[in-house]
Amino acid sequence: MRKKVIALVLTSALLMAAAGCGNTGTQSSGGQTENTQPAVENTTAAADDAQEDTQNEEQTTGDVIGTAEGTAAVPEETEDGSHILVAYFSWADNAVTDENVDAVSSPSVTAPGNVQELAGWVQEETGGDLFSIRVTDPYPSDWDACLERANDERGEDARPQLQENVENLDHYDTVFLGYPNWWYGVPMALLSFLEENDLSGKQVYLFCSHGTGGLADSVDIIEEAAPAAEISDNIFDCYEEDVHSSREEILSWVEGLGY
């Protein structure tokens, strides 16, 4: 019952944002109309595809650093000489792998996750290094259970433990940071990441996937957690159901930034 109430509260409290993907110079705030529950309304087709996927697969578009195999020892240099990190958090990289998971109720838990997919495209365009932010204690694959834990962590202002941090962080001058909107903000693991990986002085570009809530408070939260980072207000945000068809949009966003 408690889980249903949580899901309902989240659903009804989400703010409406324009569907689609794009960049914004200001945070998207949205209007106040009726809402849909994020991700969970994906249908059987998605679920069927999902069942064929292996959970926690790595992105196919680039090497992922920050995996159990370890981080890249020497960050790659891009054509213009800059060193770019593409760090992201995605539920699909942070869910309990359970063959019995009900993919119908949790379609977005299967790889690639929405932010994971966006991150792969950013990596493709920038030639940077991918880093998946992963917690040591993965989230439930069940939607309601994940919502509940995320809400508990938010209430406790928790800092979930990360599997690892970025090696050679000093070497990167530009960071693309991707995350989903969780509970009108960010997954608390993103704050663990920002506190343990000092982005001060680095140029940071944010990209976010979300339900109908848009960016909500996420940008303010990130700015507060990384006050000395140079966070651009040119942010790419993408409605969850449009992610799979947004490759061109995010590539041109990255290109427009000069990469």
What is the binding site for ligand FMN (CB under 6 A)?
10, 14, 38-39, 90-92, 108, 113-116, 146-147, 150, 180-184, 209-213, 240
Closer residue to ligand FMN (CB): 75 or 188:
188
Minimal CB distance residue for ligand FMN: 213
Minimum CB separation from ligand FMN for residue 259, in Å?
22
Please, what is the minimum distance in Å from the beta carbon of residue 94 to ligand FMN?
8
Q: Taking the complex as a whole, how short is the minimal distance between the CB of residue 70 and ligand FMN, in angstroms?
A: 23
Q: Of 13 and 228, which CB lies nearer to ligand FMN in the complex structure?
A: 13
Burial class (CB in 10 A: 0-12, 13-18, 19+), 71: middle
Note whether 10 and 183 are within 8 A (CB): yes
Which residues make Cβ contacts (< 8 Å) with residue 52, sequence separation at least 6?
none
CB nearer to ligand FMN: give 202 or 210.
210
Q: Closest approach of Cβ 228 to ligand FMN, in Å? A: 27
Looking at the Cβ atoms of 124 and 240, the one nearer to ligand FMN is 240
Q: Which is nearer to ligand FMN, 88 or 172 (CB)?
A: 88
* Those residues with Cβ within 8 angstroms of residue 76's Cβ, 6 or more apart along the chain or in another chain: 83, 127, 128, 129
Nearest approach, Cβ of residue 114 and ligand FMN (Å):
4
What is the signed CA dihedral for 211, 233, 151, 1, rounded to 10 degrees?
A: -20
Half-sphere exposure for 224 (CA within 13 Å, toward CB): 8
CA distance 107 to 121: 21
- DSSP lists the bridge partners of residue 78 as none
Closer residue to ligand FMN (CB): 75 or 187 = 187
**DSSP-derived pairing of the beta strands 21-24 and 235-239:** antiparallel
CB of 200 to ligand FMN, least distance (A): 26
